[in-house]
Structure 1
């Protein structure tokens, strides 16, 4: 089953310094029929304007992945971590029983765009994790790059939950296939450009819920940048 989700039907917010598109209920966007997709609780497409950002705030019992699309993000947290990441690079944390952090765009003139992804952990009170990975474009260019997996998986970034995150940048007319195992499902986010996903067109900002399918065929209709989260059905 393929369920296309048009960006025009998603929740939005504009706080002046921050513009967001919410794939699921978040902040002032409340939709009781759109709380999560399996263990995927949040996918926010955020634009943070220059010299602004999220001041120190807490998280607990959530696994959070930030995928940088454009610009630079500067992270600080209560575990003593501090760093700046750019396009295609990934920051992750498993908040466990509590962590404080801040995220800012310190650039004087360039916007920061990132996808903030929250994954529900398999249980509460797990060990806190923090890390980052500075992936290069050639690692995801015309191929699938597995950026996040469970601790039993093969990705450089490992979290507690049974998920896999893949990203790719495809040149026009390039096609990729992905086999979906039984009892698995996928949430697909078209970041930039457009793709034909199992014969359904997705444009920038659109998404798709993929269930009861065994194969995923992705064709770039133009240069295409996308991310998808493959997960166990719950």
Structure 2
């Protein structure tokens, strides 16, 4: 088991937001990889836990050949850009933007006078040259919501051999994960165990493990990234 705590990393940011970057994969960042951050898993290459300043925004910027996943933890953002301009993203919702070869531009704006909180993940596509696209999800109050990954025959998620699930559990519940996973505890407290060790995890902990058991000590939300369908 490998563990990385958000609190151990420097606070960075750009434009109208501050963030802790926990995954900066060498395939994308090369020599710019942030010290002490994790490599990804599968085609998953980036994870940031961000807060927008009051009325803060990213400003309009482009992406190409990358899939950008945003999970709203607190507050809301107003989404602007070439895909689904005007869509709002509220607490408990997620959006996935596929850039493909076509590419897209976007700006995420905090419309409120309070800070918000949003997770952003990047995944490299399995195939280059795909069409740009947008998907929006409301997360299940309890249980698992798949927001990314699957085969081409289904349309609920963008196809990928890398899977991303948002798992919400109540205090006292437990789950088992068989394959290698990256787990980001985005809120709450849980006991995370593998074949060799047990760790008391809390919000802001990123864990790489194999054959994992999770037992909750409070209501929790966990982002699970894997290369196998769990």
Q: Can you list the C-alpha shifts for 1:90-142, whole angstroms capped at 9, x where unaligned?
A: 111110122111111111x232211100001113222211121233xxx241x
1:36 aligns with 2:32: no
Q: Is the 8 A contact 1:11 1:24 kept in 2?
A: no
**Distance across 2 between alignment mates of 1:188 and 1:33:** 14
**Distance across 2 between alignment mates of 1:113 and 1:160:** 27
1:194 aligns with 2:189: yes
Structure 2, unmatched stretches of 5+, are none
**Distance across 2 between alignment mates of 1:60 and 1:16:** 20
Match of 1:104 in 2: 109
State the Cα distance separating 1:52 from its structure 2 match: 1.2
Match of 1:7 in 2: 6
Q: Is the 8 A contact 1:46 1:116 kept in 2?
A: yes
State the Cα distance separating 1:165 from its structure 2 match: 1.5
Aligned residues: 218
**Structure 1 residues 127 and 11: CA distance shift in structure 2, 3 A:** farther
Q: Is the 8 A contact 2:68 2:97 kept in 1?
A: yes
CA RMSD of aligned residues (A): 2.5
SS of 2:7's equivalent in the other structure is: helix
Q: TM-score, normalised by structure 1?
A: 0.82
SS of 1:8's equivalent in the other structure is: helix
SS of 1:197's equivalent in the other structure is: strand
**Distance across 1 between alignment mates of 2:63 and 2:178:** 34
**Structure 1 residues 112 and 40: CA distance shift in structure 2, 3 A:** same
State the Cα distance separating 1:152 from its structure 2 match: 4.5
Q: TM-score, normalised by structure 2?
A: 0.84
Match of 1:217 in 2: 213
Q: Is the 8 A contact 1:120 1:161 kept in 2?
A: no
Runs of 4+ in 1 over 6 A off after TM superposition: none
Structure 1, unmatched stretches of 5+, are none
Match of 2:122 in 1: 118
Q: Is the 8 A contact 1:65 1:91 kept in 2?
A: yes
Deviates more, 1:36-45 or 1:51-60: 36-45
